[in-house]
Amino acid sequence: MPTLTRRGCLAALAAAGAATALPLGRPVAKAVAPSTDAWSDFEHLDALALADAVRRGDVHPRTLLDAAITRAERTDARINAYSQTLFDAALEAVDAGLPSGPFTGVPFPVKDLGMMIDGTPTLAGSRLFKEHVADHDSELVRRYRAAGLVLYARTTTPELGLTATTESVAHGDTRNPWDLSRIAGGSSGGAGAAVAARMVPMAHATDGAGSIRTPASCCGVFGLKPSRGRVPLGPARTEGWQGLSTGHAITISVRDSAALLDATAAPESGAWYFAPPPQRPWLEETEREPGRLRIALVTDAPTGGPVHADCRSAAADAARLCESLGHFAEPVQLPIDAGAMTDALLAVLAVETRRTLEDRAAVLGRAPSADDVEPVTWMFAERAADYSALDYSRARETFQRITVSMARFMSEWDVVLSPTLAMPPLPLGVINLSPPDLERMIEEVTNFGPFAAVYNVSGQPSMSVPLYWNDDGLPIGTMFSARYGDEAVLFRLAAQLEQVRGWRGRVPWEARKS
């Protein structure tokens, strides 16, 4: 089948009767007079459009911030996306004058885990860190400020980011704006919920085993995990969870994600490694045709666990859509030993959790107890004693073998397409860190999210795209993953999919209610 241009794609789909697609195209910033409720005018604009309105003088950053604060005050009591608000500091930053950047004046929340904001607590979803106040900005935070973003809140996360839902004893349950009885995903659930509810057009997020893509899927928004070494984690460290974790954002639009990566991705001082530089800005990639891609379709969970019919349907629908756009898709199996990968992941999580608690003990001057943290956190910390140095080295070696296998596999494919998750968003209370049955909870988490972690192990870029909603009105994300260092192909494909299956007009009832 010949490769179609985007205009040709749209014409072909229209001729085939694709009238059910949402409105196409990207929004263009329009002149908006400042008002006390400006966010109602801006709700469907992405961050670049808001910054463009500021740049043209159509709206003042203070108006945007006031509107974002109003939005948070109206909405967050029901959703619980923010663990802290930084409204006063944000107002001071705006009044002092913002630097000129691609996102000048755009309100932006930062995940309350790992990233330091000088003079502000980093709570990590844990009671143990309630007095942990940063004495510096993380490098990524410095880059956010230089881009003109206004840091006005911290988003919720489960304790130490250890599960795929954002529920914690410290901060309560973060709820899915599409259905308040269901999870928003984790560990960047606060970011996903805030963006889905249109409290902000984009939010910082991190991903150690799916923690950007899981909430993006649950909340019906776009989430891209960059390649390993692409985004800085320093200055205190330059990798997290032995290279599994990286940071970026959850966004309404593809172009916001691309432009934010342009503004923040560069080597940092002291990094052991960094991803290869792009050929051109990623924002430019969103305007380029992806060409005819070879897509490996994976619908069976690598772990052998069950995959819900809705998730299979979402992946199959995405494959058909891609083929209608001129791409080639073929069912395959990933060349990995999922059992060995899971064992290695559990070893790393246990040891990293134990080290985190011991490092905190050194600051507090006392040993943490089971009363300081949630039961699953404590279980991981105790299990660290079961692993020897040799076990830990073997876990790292397992990661290396999987990375090599995936690199060889990707020599034949441009993209892997799969469900983001194996189930629709779960009810609250199923996979939190204080469950009645600890072992059952680990099994439930593994069954819920079996597709994402392999790309943390291999370091490949991976994204969840909101292309499908089930009969219950819940979003079901589709995951696309590319070769290491090739975010460009993902941005080109995502922009094409956004053109023909635009999702920005789909807003959950919580956003409409506010």
| Catalytic machinery residues | 111, 187, 211
Q: Are 195 and 250 in contact (CB under 8 A)?
A: yes
State phi, psi for 418 to the nearest 5 degrees: -155, 170
Are 499 and 236 spatial neighbours (Cβ–Cβ below 8 Å)?
no
Strand partners, 84: 154
Query: What would the 3-class secondary structure string for 49-91 be?
Result: HHHHHHHHCCCCHHHHHHHHHHHHHHHHHHHCCEEEECHHHHH
Backbone angles phi, psi at 503, to 5 degrees: -110, -5
Is-contact 155 204, C-beta < 8 A? yes
Q: Pairing between strand 475-482 and 462-469?
A: antiparallel
Contacts of residues 136-142 at CB distance under 8 Å and 24 or more positions apart, as own/partner, are 136/235, 138/114, 138/232, 138/233, 138/234, 138/235, 139/232, 139/233, 139/234, 139/235, 139/268, 140/115, 140/204, 140/231, 140/232, 140/233, 140/247, 140/264, 141/110, 141/115, 141/116, 141/117
Query: Which residue shows structure tokens 């699953």?
Result: 376
Measured CA to CA, the distance from residue 77 to residue 254 in angstroms comes to 28
Could you give the CA distance from residue 66 to residue 73 in angstroms, rounded to a whole number?
A: 11
Element (DSSP H or E) covering residue 296: strand 294-297
Are β-strands 222-225 and 246-251 bridged in parallel, bridged antiparallel, or unpaired? antiparallel
CA of 335: how far to CAs of 244, 298, 323, 364, 414, in Å? 19, 11, 24, 45, 16
Pairing of strands 294-297, 415-419: parallel
Contact 108, 152 (CB under 8 A): yes
Q: Which two tokens stand for residue 437?
A: 């049955």
Contact assessment for residue 39 and residue 67, using Cβ atoms and an 8 Å cutoff? yes
Amino acid at 398: T
Distance set, CA 259 to CA 132, 254, 265, 477 (Å): 32, 9, 10, 22
d(CA 250, CA 181): 22
Record the tokens describing residue 358, joined without a space.
Answer: 């011991």
What are the Cα distances from residue 204, in Å, to 101, 111, 163, 190, 478? 17, 6, 18, 10, 20
